[in-house]
Amino acid sequence: MTAPNDRGVVWLGSPAFPEAAREALKDGQLRANLRRATATIRDKRLSVSAELDDWEQLRDAAAAIKQHTARHLDRYLVQLEESVTAAGGTVHWAADAAEANRIVTELVRATGGSDDETREVVKVKSMATQEIGLNEHLAEHGITAYETDLAELIVQLGDDRPSHILVPAIHKNRTEIRDLFAAEMGRHGIAAPEGLTDEPRALAEAARRHLRHKFLSAKVAVSGANFACADTGTVLVVESEGNGRMCLTLPETLITVMGIEKVIPSFADLEVFLQLLPRSSTGERMNPYTSAWSGTTEGDGPSAFHLVLLDNGRTDTLADPVGRQALGCIRCSACLNVCPVFERTGGHAYGSVYPGPIGAVLTPQLVGVDSDTKGAAASLPFASTLCGACYDACPVKINIPEVLTHLRAKVVEAEGGRTVEALAMKAAGKVLDSPRLLTAAQKAAALGGKVLARDGRIGRLPGPLHGWTDSRDTPAPPTESFRSWWRKNREGGTS
Amino acid sequence: MSSREAILARIRAAVADAPAEEPPLPRAYRRSHLAPGADPVGLFAERVADYRATVTRTDPAGLPAALAAALTAHGARRLAVPAGFPAELLPPGAWQWHHEPLTVPELDGLDGSLTLAAVGIAVTGTLVLDAGPGHGRRALSLVPDYHLCVIRAEQIAADVPEALTRLDPARPLTFISGPSATSDIELDRVEGVHGPRTLHVIIVEPREPA
Ligand code: SF4
């Protein structure tokens, strides 16, 4: 039913993390863009979370609610299904990516229109639909999906891949975005205005003009969900730009694809998450817009609402008592923004829609470390220094270092004869790129291996793997779009 | 077996270790972050303004004049007004008030919308609209580029937990904290993408603020 190859998540043909990271490290522009952006957001997050003197109590509550929900997920999903249905929505269950894609495609087709008419859907940024490769699947069936989030638009126009879960175009700076808009917008609709500058305000205006008529004419929207309340059937989308409100409000049909772990027991539990999420993600007291709806409402918004509940490896993750905490993730991206490895390699190196520390624990669990995709996924638990910054930043207290060490042990088991030193060194050697650091890292990893040998667990790695302090800037290689790189690699048969 | 049954069975197998009786969840966090004795209305005004929205405080007698001043300052003449917005509040003058039914393209042709709100949240500077009387359906306060919103002081809750208890989840809810914005370019916030690029909030207090 859920062969890992049907699950998406990882980009086929992606090299294992060490090789991808080595390439990324050569890109000085990428590193400058990332350093600038993550430094800005880190400061904002710290200052707004410090405003709440009970931040730790909020984190404890959030972690407890998520863990509790996971342990009784069957009950809460059934309750959610009842509430959504009672409120006028329709609930669908999808075991894997292939089934979810099939459901959404059939729902879009059922909205009518003649067969030769071009079908279009507008989309709100959603990790779940990226995970299942929905846009590509719709395209194969003659349906064009327009991403409406600014960063997703940048990624889509650039034929690129997202590199961050909150800000998918974080690898691009304003000048690169300006050039892309000027070159590409006209080919997909309303062109960028003459003389477009790289002022963020002007770029936002260009996106507004480009997407306006798509919002006003779309019949079907596809969204993800940040939360769904089992008791009331209320589904929430948290956003900034208003593209979410447009998609959730104007079309006749709304299809929401949601990972089964997004359910929370009650509407009242939002009091915890609506305080933690905006402060942890964009560093604001509250994000500009949050939409909450229960089923359908006569005379307001879509007349048909479909909720697709997606498993796609989540029940496998749930079966691991250590690993299941990763399902508590609310996708705030704080762990990415504090991660010294992410800051140097960027998101593409992780080869998955889930990059950074959360990706390093989620991706291998969703697709399995012993599956056909293990080349990319199995290297991810080693893409970390175990410095612990992600754990400290996480608003739902996911102990990412603990899950990483746990998964390292699993990978070692799955690899049979290979040692943890060999795997850790493969990652570290490529990334650190310095003989002195490498030697020290080898010692550190050997130590980790001994610990592993003793009790099946690895402690924090000391030494240079702890800090990743000395990556050198080198001249940037000629730029190449991610997808063209990917195609080339796939055609070269390196998957 | 349907996917529904399969997923539920897989969940049950995966969490067979879960205790039937769970301890109560820790909820040691505050119900409110408003300092004791602090004025929620003042904080709300400050926090809304932090998002680069415009805030006006007035009393009931001053409301029509405050609305007129806001519309004049923004140069908005053609406005969507939802059913249930009190007609006596509309200021006299050369404004065109457009009432439902309004199609989405018609809304797109207007300068702005004028609505009430259900709840305010002081600590986060948030307005919540629930499609009740005077709010309109959700498109009304979304499609036009300017949103002028009137909230009464007693509708302002101190913090998020209290605000949620005042809301009805069966209604479509829109939480609004400042104008449309994005952090997508270099993680730096700029105002103005797809939602209204200008938000003006008028707080109506029982008496003229001191
Ligand atoms: S793991 Fe925690 S910090 Fe990272 S994205 Fe998820 S919730 Fe945020």
Domains recognised in chain B with CATH numbers: 39-204 (3.40.50.10420)
pLDDT of B209 higher than 90: no
Per the prediction, chain A carries an average pLDDT of 82
**Which of A380, A382, A390 has the alpha carbon at shortest distance from A340?**
A390
CA–CA distance, A291 with A301 (Å, rounded to integer): 12
* Section A473-478 average pLDDT: 28
Which of the pair, A268 or A377, is modelled with greater confidence? A268
Q: Are A221 and A251 in contact (CB under 8 A)?
A: yes
CA–CA distance, A313 with B72 (Å, rounded to integer): 56
The minimal CB distance from B194 to the residues A87, A242, A274 is found for: A242
H/E stretch holding A307 reads: strand A304-310
Q: Where are the alpha helices (DSSP H) in chain B?
A: 3-14, 40-50, 63-74, 104-108, 160-166
Per the prediction, chain B carries an average pLDDT of 95
Least confident of A71-85, A131-145, A369-383: A369-383
**What is the value of pTM for the model shown?**
0.88
The tens digit of pLDDT for each residue in A440-468 reads 433 343 333 333 322 323 333 333 333 33
pLDDT of B132 higher than 60: yes
Beta-bridge mates of residue A255? A222, A306
Which of the pair, A374 or B179, is modelled with greater confidence? B179
* Section A410-417 average pLDDT: 74
Protein residue with least CA distance to atom 8, ligand 1: A332
Hey, are the CB atoms on A204 and B142 less than 8 Å from each other? Answer: no
Question: Predicted ipTM?
Answer: 0.96
Residue A62 near ligand 1, beta carbon < 6 Å: no
Residue A389 near ligand 1, beta carbon < 6 Å: no
The tens digit of pLDDT for each residue in A206-242 reads 999 999 989 999 999 999 999 999 999 999 999 999 9
What architecture is the A3-314 domain classified under in CATH? 3-Layer(aba) Sandwich (3.40)
Phi, psi of A329 (to 5 degrees): -55, 130
The chain B residue lying nearest A295, using CA atoms, is B170
Phi, psi of A396 (to 5 degrees): -110, 15
The minimal CB distance from A315 to the residues B10, B131, B181 is found for: B10
Which of the pair, A29 or B141, is modelled with greater confidence? B141
Q: Are B7 and A260 in contact (CB under 8 A)?
A: yes
Give the rounded distance of the alpha carbon of A282 from its chain centre: 15
Which of the pair, A192 or A371, is modelled with greater confidence? A192
CA–CA distance, A262 with A103 (Å, rounded to integer): 19
Hey, are the CB atoms on B11 and A315 less than 8 Å from each other? Answer: yes
* Section A52-76 average pLDDT: 97
Query: What is the three-class DSSP state of B149?
Result: strand
The tens digit of pLDDT for each residue in B101-117 reads 999 999 999 999 999 99
Beta-bridge mates of residue A10? A352
Residue A141 is which amino acid? H
* Section B163-167 average pLDDT: 98
pLDDT of B2 higher than 50: yes
Q: Which residue has the tokens 């529904």?
A: B4
pLDDT of A473 higher than 50: no
Protein residue with least CA distance to atom 6, ligand 1: A329
The tens digit of pLDDT for each residue in A151-163 reads 999 999 999 888 8
**Which of B73, B46, B51, B54 has the alpha carbon at shortest distance from B190?**
B51
CA–CA distance, A222 with A227 (Å, rounded to integer): 16
CA–CA distance, A290 with B128 (Å, rounded to integer): 9
* Section A128-141 average pLDDT: 95
Which of the pair, A42 or A21, is modelled with greater confidence? A42
CA dist list (Å): A43 to A49, A280, B178, B191: 10, 11, 21, 20
CA–CA distance, A188 with A390 (Å, rounded to integer): 39
Q: Read off the pLDDT band of A370 (50, 70, 90).
A: low
CA–CA distance, A58 with B29 (Å, rounded to integer): 6
Beta strand pairing status for B126-129 and B119-121?
antiparallel
Residue A393 near ligand 1, beta carbon < 6 Å: yes
What are the residue ranges spanned by the domains of chain A?
3-314, 434-491
A357: CA distance to ligand 1 center in Å? 8
Mutate to test the pocket of ligand 1, among A66, A280, A339 (most ligand atoms within 8 A of CB): A280
Q: Are B177 and A284 in contact (CB under 8 A)?
A: yes
Hey, are the CB atoms on A286 and B175 less than 8 Å from each other? Answer: yes
pLDDT of A475 higher than 50: no
CA dist list (Å): A314 to A104, A136, A327, A393: 19, 22, 8, 23
Residue A33 has a pLDDT of 81
**A415 contact partners, CB below 8 Å, separation of at least 6:** A378, A423
Residues of B in contact with A315 (CB under 8 A): 7, 10-11, 14
The minimal CB distance from B186 to the residues A36, A260, A293 is found for: A36
pLDDT of B174 higher than 50: yes
pLDDT of A430 higher than 60: no
Residues of B in contact with A53 (CB under 8 A): 30, 33
CA–CA distance, A398 with A392 (Å, rounded to integer): 9
**Which of A52, A47, A84 has the alpha carbon at shortest distance from A271?**
A52
Q: Read off the pLDDT band of B206 (50, 70, 90).
A: very high
Ligand 1 atom closest to A331 (CA): 5
Percent of chain A with pLDDT over 70: 78
Phi, psi of A171 (to 5 degrees): -75, -5
The dihedral over CA atoms of A352, A410, A97, A138, expressed in degrees to the nearest 10, equals 20
pLDDT of A276 higher than 70: yes
B161: CA distance to ligand 1 center in Å? 22
